[in-house]
Structure formats: structure tokens, C-alpha cells
Amino acid sequence: MLLCLGSVPTIVLSSPEVTKEVLRTHDLDCCSRSRLAGTRHLSYGSLDMAFIKYGGYWRELKKLCMLELFSVQRVQSFRYIREHEVASMVELIVKSAESKIPVNMSEKFMTLTANFTCRVAFGKAFQGTEFNDGKFMDMIHEAMAMLGSFSASDFFPRFGWIGDRFTGLHSRLEKSFRTLDVFYQKVIEEHRNANKSDEEEEDIVDLLLKMERDETELAGVQLKEDNIKAILMLARNPRAMRKAQEEIRRCVGNKKCVVEDDLSGLKYLNLVLKEAMRLHPPGALLLPRETRGHFKLFDYDVDLKSRVQVNIWGIGRDPSLWERPEEFVPERFEDSLIDYKGNHFELLPFGAGRRGCPGMSMAMVMIELALANVLRSFDWELPEGMTEEM
């Protein structure tokens, strides 16, 4: 479907066949990014790997990330942090459950995500540190809101900046960037002056500073929501929840908690996660791409600098692809080869092609581990007064 959003031609892909043609056959033709106002302001002129235009710098940056930040070895090196933070979350839920009041899972998973992210990136936990003063989460929420904000200049490049100043969006973006910049600078200076021993945990900032010292040259992290949605879907489907719990408890036996070595044996849990991501992907649309030149898409001409949006929410609920698409049925994936790794275009929570999410492995290990532990340790049900239809 072709839409003219302001002066920007926008192609919306809502079928796996067309999506495959674009993201596989024409991946190189449409693997760039538009310079949107939110991402441009908050990523130092779109220098972030997710938002930068395609080119030599992006290729070197992705290579660096895949080798140093998201490699199998690096993901495995954070195993202790993942298992420790999940165990801490389970202990907090136990204390809450003893009072027999509903547990705010959104809050619990937010803390889990914040603790893990802060320890991996900055070397210190979120809870019990200066991060947990309210300002840190306010800063993150504001930045996320600004990244997804509606900017008139994104659709009317010549004159839209006038509207952004009139609505106050421009000044809000500037303020959010300054707050983030001060925070990042403080973290960097703390790491520069830390003098860590070799035995201490090396976080991502340490690694980046090490690359800077070694003069490494360049050419030129929705977990919380995924966990909550999966638990909610299971609470509304007691049969599926019991089946997942039986598998987990049978596999784990008398062990106190699920560890990462157990995850490979949890086949039904994997089906649950696929079904949860089909119904509730991290976003309704993948990050928009921008075409790098003219090409033919079947019998249609696609022009230079057209914006491409993949409607993964629509694909996941297409009745021509899925039987009973609105129902939560993990068994639909039982004898299916479909996975979420970008090889099957019916299920694309992490995208595909050159612009697929490089942090997929890191995210999925954390999601599986957290979900397996809360299902192993607790029986879940909807709050009193809430029905499965609500």
C-alpha cells in the first residue's frame, strides 16, 4: 500500500510475500534510514547503529557490535548477571505474594530490565543506586517518547520545522538530549577514573573505552513488555499455562530455579513465546527504512527516498496466514519451522535483513529465563473481577 504522508511517499508492507521481496530480494535497495527529528536529536546526529544511514560507517559499526557486544561469547559472559537478577525478582514476588495482594508485574519487570541493563552497560544495578531516584527512569521514558514523537519536519522537510517550534517539540527534544548527554558524560568519566582490576566485571562502557584507548578505527535493548504480555496471555489461557508449567517443573526437577542450561529443553515455552510475539510484537511497525535508489517491486516503481514500513502487527493477525488469528494457541507452531530470527516473514518481531535487530540473542535469553522462572515458581491468575474476555 502506497501512502503520501505529507511530501514523503510511504510504502506499507502487510503480507509476508511482499515483505520477503523487499527485505530479502531488495534489501540493499532499501536498507537506509530517514533522518527523523527524534532519532537525529537523541543519537548525536543519527550516529546510533539503529538510525544511521547505510554506508561504510554503518557496516563497520555493525561488525564491531556483532563481534564485541552481541557475540555468543559476550552474551554468555552476562549469564551470571541475568540469573542473579531473575532470582532477585522471584524473591521479591514471593514476598509480595505472601501478603496475598495482586502483584504489579509491570513494576517488577521494569526493575528487572533496569537492573540488568544498568549492570551490563554501566557496571552497577538500578535498584539501590543513584539511578533509582526517579530521575533516571523519567529520563528514559522521556527519551523513548521523543524517539517516537510526531514531528512535522519528518513529513514536511522544508517547512515542518516551523510547526515543531510552534508546538514546543523542538525545545523538548533539545532538553531531552542535554539531559541524556550530561548523564552519558558522567558515566564515561566515572569509568575513566575507576581503575578497575582485571577480576572486576567488565561492562559495555569499559569495553568501548578500551576500544578508544586501543584506537579501534571505524570507516568514517520492549523486554519488560514481552514478559508481561506472555504472562497475561497465559493467565487468560489456563490450559496453556498448566502445560508450560508442567514442562518447566519436569525439566527443572527439585532445583531452586531455572538456569540457562535448562532453556534448551523447554520446547513448549518456546512455542508460547512465539505465539506471544505473533499477537503482541515489540512494536506494531518495524523501524522505518528508506530506499537508496529506484527499483521495481513486482509491477510497481519504487522511487528514491521512499519510506518503507513493515506492518508486523497486521501480518501476525492475518486470517489468510493464521487459523483463528485472534486466539492464543501456542500449538500452532508445534510442527512448524517458523521462527522469529528473520528467516520466516510471517513472524518478524526483530526484523530481517541488514537492518535486523543485532541484540536479538541478548533479549531472547533474558525473556526466556525470566518467564521460565516466574512460571516455575508461581501459579498465575487474573486479578479478582477480571475475566478472560476483558
Q: How far apart are CA 221 and CA 7, in angstroms?
A: 32
Which residues are bridge partners to 13 per DSSP? 310
Residue 310: φ, ψ to 5° = -105, 120
For every residue of 203-240, DSSP letters joined together read -HHHHHHHHHHTT-------HHHHHHHHHHHHHT-HHH
357 annotated as a binding-site residue: yes
Q: Which of 54, 62, 11 is nearest to 35 (CA)?
A: 54
CA–CA dist 351, 342 (Å, integer): 6
CB 238, CB 387: distance < 8 Å: no
What distance in Å separates the CA atoms of residue 310 and residue 353, rounded to the nearest whole number?
13
- Angle at CA 146, nearest 5°, toward 361 and 41? 90
Triad 240, 243, 246: Cα angle to 5° = 150
For 310, the enclosing helix (H) or strand (E) is strand 307-310
Contact 311, 45 (CB under 8 A): no
* Residues ≥6 apart with Cβ < 8 Å to 195: none
DSSP 382: P
* Residue 346, CA atoms < 13 Å, CB-side half-sphere: 16
Cα gap 222→228, rounded to integer Å:
10
- Which residues does the annotation place in the binding site? 357
- Which residues does the annotation place in the binding site for heme? 357
